[in-house]
Chains A and B, each alone.
Chain A
Amino acid sequence: MLEKLADLVNGDEALVRRGRHLTGAFLVEARPRAWLVHVLRGRIEKVEEGPFVMPSWRFALRAEEADWQRFWRPRPAPGDHDLLALVRRGLMKFEGDLQPLMANLLYLKAVLEAPRALAAAAGGAR
């Protein structure tokens, strides 16, 4: 679901501006899949899909693929709808250096919710 992330984010001028102080890579793990998302001043520079031999990242967001799939529905169910909701339910873990994650939390939430637009366009299951 993250293959089109650059298109979804980089065309959103306000979102890129919100993330303008973030540069670096973060890992999105949707077990068993994983992606490295490379950000350059709020723009998605590159998304690489795993498996990785020696991935280098600043922070990671880890959950099962099924949890992410429910999160990416156009209108997720209560409790599936937010990164911190998944954290509270014990389904997601934040790892690594959390400073850039917390400093850019609004931006990163919007980036990771962006694939919902694809699901909506495809008439994804509600």
Chain B
Amino acid sequence: MSAAPGLPALEPIVGRYLSLDFEGRRYRVYFEEAGEGIPLICLHTAGSDGRQYRGVLTDPEVTRRFRVIAFDMPRHGKSSPPQGFEAEEYRLTRDFYTAFVLAFADALSLDRPVVMGCSIGGRLVLNLAAQHADRFRALIGLQSSAHVAPYYDTEWLHHADVHGGEVCAGIVSGLVGPDAPAADRWETLWHYMQGGPGVFKGDLHFYKVDGDLRQRIAAIDTGRCPLFLLTGEYDYSCSPAETEEVAAMVPGALCIIMPGLGHFPMSENPDCFLAHLRPVLDRIAKA
């Protein structure tokens, strides 16, 4: 944001709610958007929300050619859980997540949007590439891997003896890269501190159990839809090596490793991330 220091400044971001019937339930979905042009849907990480994309939404170089739209998945950010949530255990599945993104794009009548997703969103992008390539102009996976085996006990993320917000931030704090400005590092952790009970854990069901795409990614045809994979060097949840494995299995996928960045590039260090993203968006806009 360019504004005179000390003066109030209205950001170009506009937030709205979309009421949506989906698989027999009513959802109230919050999204933020800015810009005009090619629709660019942004998917946040597990346990967080669309505020992660504040740097993309406020970058004039992006918004002069792209209509950037970041929505909060149900139960995240300002998107409420559906009626009856109190009686069920939340577990995100590949099929729900995939269909929900398609339903959101349809509800806003978006014509062949670009989708950019991070972490679980980066995983989902691979499934969109494998199954729905013709619906998208291009796909951008941030911190994309085909599979992550569980490496800690996620029960602690939703436990009566541990504060959920504190532990979720503690779990992900080391996924922020070492060059992140302090304000952006802590804002990224704050989003985790604000997550609803069991939401991060429920998202990880998709990340670590139901979202194993190792058998699917060979079907990705980048001739039908270009695929860009950007991964931060310091991410140990989806490491550069894991993204490179995906890229090696998908001919034509462009893989970029971002030095110094971690698992939340768009949120932990927006300026540094945008330097990597802008050339990718430039290619997409000119295609």
Contacts and interface: CB of A to CB of B under 8 A. Distances in A.
Interface of A: 75, 78-79, 81-85, 87-89, 98-99, 102-103, 105-106, 109
A84 B152 contact: yes
B166 A106 contact: yes
Contact of A105 (B153, B167, B233, B235): B167
Nearest to B233: A78
A106 B167 CA distance: 7
A78 B263 CA distance: 12
Nearest to A86: B236
B170 A78 contact: no
B89 interface: no
B173 interface: yes
8 contacts: A75-B178, A78-B234, A79-B236, A82-B174, A84-B171, A89-B236, A103-B167, A105-B170
Contacts of B169: 106
A75 to B, nearest CB: 6
Interface in B24-65: none
Given A82-B175, A102-B156, 4 more contacts: A78-B234, A84-B152, A88-B151, A102-B170
A87 B175 CA distance: 13
Interface stretch (B104-112, B157-165, B215-223): B157-165
Interface of B: 151-153, 156, 159, 161-163, 166-167, 169-171, 173-175, 178, 233-237, 239-240
A109 B233 contact: no
Contacts of B178: 75, 81
B236 A85 contact: yes
Contacts of B171: 84, 105
Given A79-B239, A103-B161, A103-B162, A84 B174 contact: yes
B281 to A, nearest CB: 26
Complex A-B, nearest 3 residue pairs according to Cβ-Cβ distance, in ascending order: A82-B174, A105-B170, A85-B236
Given A88-B236, A103-B161, A103-B163, A81 B156 contact: no
Contacts of B175: 82
